[in-house]
Amino acid sequence: MRTPTMTRTLRWAVVGVLGIALVAAPGIASAWTKGNTPPSRLLDGPKTKINGPFSVAFDAAGRMYVANAMSNSVEMYAADWANGDTAPRKSLVGPATGLNQPASIAFDAAGNMYVANISANSVTVYAPEWAKGNTAPIKTLSGPSTGLDQPVGLAFDASGRMYVASFGANAILVFAEDWASGDRAPVKYLGGPNSGVNGPTSIAWDASGRMHVTNVLANTVTAYPADWASGDMPPVKVLSGPGTGLSAPVDVDFDYLGRMNVLNTGDLNCKYETVASLAVWPGEWTAGNTAPSKELKGTNTKLVCPTSMAFGPSGETFVANSLGNDITGYAADVSVTIKGKRTSPTAISLAGVTSGVPLGASITAYVRMKAPKQKFVPQHAIKLTKGDLAKGTFTYPIGKLKAGKAYEVYVVIGSAKSATITVNP
């Protein structure tokens, strides 16, 4: 039997306030600082088709997918979407799709798209390159044996098993990697008074494989060992108390530096005056009433009833603001410095030092002649390797310059930009 609080929270969810977060194109910006930091990215306007967004995810190609609960659709955007009122590349919508207040999107290792549907108590699956329009799922998980009751969070572990945060069932449900279409029972579940699961909305794993759950009705984050036992298992640690700043926590994830990020809606009724926040703790956070090491909060942030977050390809943090029907983006904690020297009359070699750069990020140098001044011209892009990241250094050659001329140079790595340096002849 649901309590009045659970019923109110469900109503809050069904009108589209579990939000989304999305991937965005690399930009030139400094990292967000704790406090009242304005966003550096924004997706907003009628062309976006954002309408009660619940979730966002991106595939291996960096394309962005947004689930809209009010229009029962999934929209796909280009990886390099532009700031402002940007239209999606294709839409999944219509009665054959099985979408019914879609609440979460996730991709398996094969690129299949999975969608959790709150009102249908189902998970529907679509082929990697699904056709736009009224396309039917390739398989569906639904029925009383599944235990699905208002499924909100959806995620895959390293072995490919599917995890569902079943809000109405007050449980975390785990399904086999190769589950067949139909009424299939979970292979494992977590729930009960000892588990600490209370209004679960999201699931994430830290670097050690421990599972973390946000409990919106308890204002807690609970953590469990990687090999947690099925049933009413207590958490190994709990983050809770007024010092944490947890206030209707709806999403948790671990960033590229291994830190735990928690998004707080601030109020289950989602009023405009609600003070929302994005808080960060070390990956090995201390249980109890532990304050965050960093917090994004205030009117300049444009966090208005935020309900979901995700990290972009260069480490940026993106937040869905349900009342504003928009997406705000905040730059990553990335830094880069460079030095340059002439290696020949027509070539330069840059030596760079980086911090906080995610694997796969690319570096692009921008060069112009110092006198007479010209426009900065982008050079070739270089991908950082694991070795580069381990050392925190890189080299970047630039050729085809004019002999005897001084050049100004800077580099961009994802959301970070170096200072401009001058390399003399």
Give the CA angle between residues 213, 320, 247 to the nearest 5°. Answer: 45
Average confidence (pLDDT) over 61-74: 88
- H or E element at residue 53: strand 53-58
Please state, in angstroms and rounded to a whole number, the distance separating the CA atoms of residues 252 and 266.
14
Backbone angles phi, psi at 246, to 5 degrees: -65, 125
Express each pLDDT in 91-137 by its tens digit.
Answer: 999 999 999 999 999 999 999 999 999 999 999 999 999 999 999 99
Inter-residue long-range contacts of 88-95, CB under 8 Å, 24+ positions, other chains counted = 88/48, 88/49, 89/63, 90/132, 91/49, 91/132, 91/133, 92/126, 92/130, 92/132, 92/133, 92/135, 93/133, 93/134, 94/133, 94/134, 94/135, 95/134
Model pLDDT, residue 33: 67
Q: What residues pair up with 352 in beta bridges, in sequence order?
A: 338, 394
* Residue 156 parent element (H or E): strand 151-156
The 10s digit of each residue's pLDDT in 272-316 is: 767 899 999 999 999 999 999 999 999 999 998 888 888 876 678
pLDDT given at position 262: 97
Global confidence as pTM: 0.79
pLDDT tens for each residue of 363-390? 999 999 998 888 899 999 988 877 777 7
- Domains of the chain are 4-330 (2.120.10.30), 335-423 (2.60.40.10)
pLDDT greater than 90 at residue 175 = yes
